[in-house]
Amino acid sequence: MPRSKPLPTLILLLLSAVSHFAFALPSFEGLSERDFEDYIASRQTADTQVADPPPPPGPLAFSGSKLVYDPAHPWIAPQAGDIRGPCPALNTLANHGYLPRDGIATPTQLINGVQEGLNLENAVAIFVTYAAMLVDGNLLTNKISIGRKSPKTGPDPPLPATAGGLSTPGLGPEGDASLTRGDAALGDNDSFDQILFDQFIDFSNRHGGGYYNLTVAAELRWARIQQSIATNPTFSFVAPRYFTAYAESALIINAFVDGRNTSRHLSIADATSFIKSNQFPQGFFRAPQPIGNDGAAQIFGAHQIPPGSNTNGVNTYTPDPNSANLAQFCLMYEHFVERSVKRLYPNPTAIQGWLYGGAALRAALMRVRIDALRGIYV
Ligand code: HEM
């Protein structure tokens, strides 16, 4: 984003300060620019001010392993009204105070939390967070729920945007064939599922000698895809879900194995702590260097399946040549914008630059945010 904003943009952002919609806005037609700004200023109060979101945080100053289950970050079970969702990592970070304990966060808080608590690599943290924010977050208030939709993220942007939270299926990272959550079409897609976790343990015993490793990850990922094909009439396994499914299978190893353990396999006890209890194992050290989705390609390579979906009920999996595959990252991003973002913000003014990284996504986020504001105020 350029530092100096053109005036209309500035006005739109200032207008966002008047973001309590209980009153009808007067027509601004005929107002001089000065009158208009005076009007905006008159409506601003400290708690209605909506600032231009800050640039994303940079990498950690110290990015090595360290104790993260420390006295400053005790585990506290979620209280009534606190939100948890489909991501065991974010749930755990919220339970330890690396994220707001109520489960409502800004992108900056999310990026800082996943970096500080689990050493997620800066570019990955920015990309995943901003992409999720674009489709699941509230672009007016700059807040996102790490689970289901919540009034705590503030007044909604105009329809068809939903600000539905990270549990929203089919738009961002959330989708079918999760390892420990059901498919949305089959019921609950964001709560921990004990039966699926029993299967996780069974696979770890049978294929990993009591540990979750890359071999287990490959077998379990494949099994979950086969189960969804056989049970979910609307099973969908296209980008971006196609990408996140393999990445998540690998992240369980990269993030949840203690940073002092060089074996890169996860004990069932530690998997249970993270995935079921959403708690760091006692004395947990984060990874020894910033992590990404290393291993995802091997998991995919063991049992390859093209992106696709059940097109006519269960067991009708049909490849979708229009979906990006794992080698087509830029196409995945393009589809994400064209299909997911534009479903919510049909006419974003200037989303372009299919570049990997925070800059393009932040620019996209800002443009869509401005459109959300325009949808309300102009
Ligand atoms: C260190 C950082 C992270 C780790 C280790 C991690 C790990 C995981 C894992 C293992 C799953 C799969 C759960 C399952 O299949 O049962 C998952 C799911 C998910 N994560 Fe994360 N995650 C991280 C960061 C994030 C971030 C930054 C976001 C978004 C802002 C996010 C959003 C999600 C969502 C929406 C799902 C549900 C996907 C599904 O349908 O299975 N995660 N995550």
Q: What is the pLDDT along the chain (378 residues), one digit of tens a residue?
A: 233 333 232 222 222 222 222 222 333 344 444 554 454 444 444 434 455 678 889 999 999 999 999 999 999 999 999 999 999 999 999 999 999 999 999 999 999 999 999 999 999 999 899 989 989 999 888 999 999 999 999 988 888 999 999 999 989 899 999 999 999 999 999 999 999 999 999 999 999 999 999 999 999 999 999 999 999 999 999 999 999 999 999 999 999 999 999 998 999 999 999 999 999 999 999 999 999 999 999 999 999 999 999 999 999 999 999 999 998 888 888 888 888 888 888 777 555 443 445 566 676 777 777 766 666 554
Residue 117: inside a domain, yes or no?
yes
Q: Return the bridge partners of 212, or none.
A: 266
Residue owning the nearest CA to atom 31 of ligand 1: 87
Residue 371 confidence (pLDDT): 67
d(CA 267, ligand 1 centre) in Å: 19
Residue 346 confidence (pLDDT): 78
d(CA 146, ligand 1 centre) in Å: 10
- Choice from 90, 178, 214 to test ligand 1 binding pocket (greatest atom count within 8 A of CB): 90
Residue owning the nearest CA to atom 32 of ligand 1: 87
Residue owning the nearest CA to atom 21 of ligand 1: 87
CB 326 within 8 A of CB 243: yes
Atom of ligand 1 nearest to the CA of 133: 30
Residue 7: inside a domain, yes or no?
no
Residue 90 CB–ligand 1 contact under 6 Å? yes
Residue 28: inside a domain, yes or no?
no
Residue 332 CB–ligand 1 contact under 6 Å? no
As a whole number of angstroms, the distance between CA 165 and CA 177 comes to 19
Distances (CA, A) of 188 to 91, 169, 224, 257, 352: 17, 11, 16, 28, 35
Q: pTM of the prediction?
A: 0.86
Atom of ligand 1 nearest to the CA of 166: 35
Residue 231: inside a domain, yes or no?
yes
Residue owning the nearest CA to atom 29 of ligand 1: 129
Give me the number of domains the chain comprises: 1
Residue 10 confidence (pLDDT): 26
Q: What is the CATH number of the domain that holds 97?
A: 1.10.489.10
d(CA 340, ligand 1 centre) in Å: 18
d(CA 247, ligand 1 centre) in Å: 9
How do beta strands 144-145 and 317-319 pair?
A: unpaired
- Choice from 84, 87, 124 to test ligand 1 binding pocket (greatest atom count within 8 A of CB): 87
Atom of ligand 1 nearest to the CA of 119: 1
Show the domain range for 98: 53-377
SS3 312: coil
Residue 345 confidence (pLDDT): 83
d(CA 177, ligand 1 centre) in Å: 13
Residue 308 confidence (pLDDT): 98
d(CA 232, ligand 1 centre) in Å: 21
Residue 8: inside a domain, yes or no?
no
Handedness of CA 193, 198, 199, 201 (dihedral sign): positive
Atom of ligand 1 nearest to the CA of 254: 5
Residue 179 CB–ligand 1 contact under 6 Å? yes
Residue 88 makes CB contacts below 8 A (sequence gap 6+) with 180, 192, 274, 275, 278
Residue 96 CB–ligand 1 contact under 6 Å? no
d(CA 76, ligand 1 centre) in Å: 20
Residue 113 CB–ligand 1 contact under 6 Å? no
Residue 239: inside a domain, yes or no?
yes
As a whole number of angstroms, the distance between CA 289 and CA 309 comes to 36
Neighbouring C-alpha atoms within 13 Å toward the C-beta of 137: 25
What letter would DSSP give residue 326?
T
Query: What is the four-CA torsion angle of 215, 243, 236, 147, rounded to 10 degrees?
Result: 100
Neighbouring C-alpha atoms within 13 Å toward the C-beta of 188: 12
